Amino acid sequence: MYAATIGLDIAKNVFQVYGANAAGDPLFNRRVSRAAILDFFSKLPPCVVAMESCSTAHYWGRSISALGHQVRLIHPAYVKPFVNRDKTDANDAEAIHEALFRRSMRFVPLKSTSHQASTMLFKTRALLVRQRVRAVNALRAHLAELGIVARPGTSNVSSLISIVRDRQSKSLPPSAITALKIIARQIDTLTKDIEVSKKH
């Protein structure tokens, strides 16, 4: 007898697969290695596969869908109430399967690679902006300790960088100039990368 529905708990190396028949009776709850998971599903007749919408779920969802199965992604917060015993891979897979049948369950849309790529670009840009803010704050703080300040705002940072790079300046100790030039160089690089990310 083949599984009609499956709860799949995905992990780095070993996945847990809970299968049930059309009546909901459990058929198996087994471990399958990451390398063998697609081969496992390729040998099953089309069924409904539920999994939590974690970071790699969209990749596995697309891969399993390509084998003819229907994939349902569930937000982890909606699965948690169905873990009735100790948290193990086997119990998690069963809980995912249980959550699948709730009438009020809201499923997460399966993302395409292009959608995921757009999200990656947005997150990367946000990361770069945070890093630049930290670098600018460090530059301001270090220079303020030496009595050099500039008006707030990113646009005014260039005046501080000019002071750091002024070869004629005698106001900064040589060791401070070395450290501050590293930060200034990082700010320049981050600014260029942010501009590149805006073009895509």
Residue 8 one-letter amino acid: L
| Per-residue DSSP letter, 56 | T
Return the top range by mean pLDDT from 29-33, 75-79, 101-105, 146-150: 29-33
Q: What is the pLDDT of residue 180?
A: 95
Q: What is the pLDDT of residue 1?
A: 67
List the domain boundaries for the chain: 5-108, 113-198
Contacts of residue 37, defined as CB under 8 A and 6 or more positions apart, other chains included, come to 15, 17, 60
Q: What is the mean pLDDT of residues 175-188?
A: 94
Query: How does residue 172 score in pLDDT terms, banded at 50, 70 and 90?
Result: confident
Across the chain, mean pLDDT equals 92
70-74 and 107-108 beta bridge pairing: antiparallel
CATH of domain 5-108: 3.30.420.140
Distance CA 173, CA 165 (A): 13
| Per-residue DSSP letter, 199 | T
Q: What is the mean pLDDT of residues 2-19?
A: 94
Residue 147 has pLDDT above 70, yes or no: yes
Taken in order 121, 124, 129, 135, is the CA torsion positive or negative? negative
- pLDDT tens, position by position, 106-123: 999 999 999 999 999 999
Q: Which helix (H) or strand (E) holds 33?
A: strand 26-33
Query: How does residue 152 score in pLDDT terms, banded at 50, 70 and 90?
Result: confident
- pLDDT tens, position by position, 27-42: 999 999 999 999 999 9
Residue 150 has pLDDT above 90, yes or no: no
Buried b vs exposed e over 34-70: b needs ≥16 C-beta within 10 Å? eeebeebbeebeebbbbbbbeeebbebbeebeebebe
Residue 153 has pLDDT above 80, yes or no: no
Query: How does residue 85 score in pLDDT terms, banded at 50, 70 and 90?
Result: confident
Residue 83 has pLDDT above 90, yes or no: no
Residue 170 has pLDDT above 80, yes or no: no
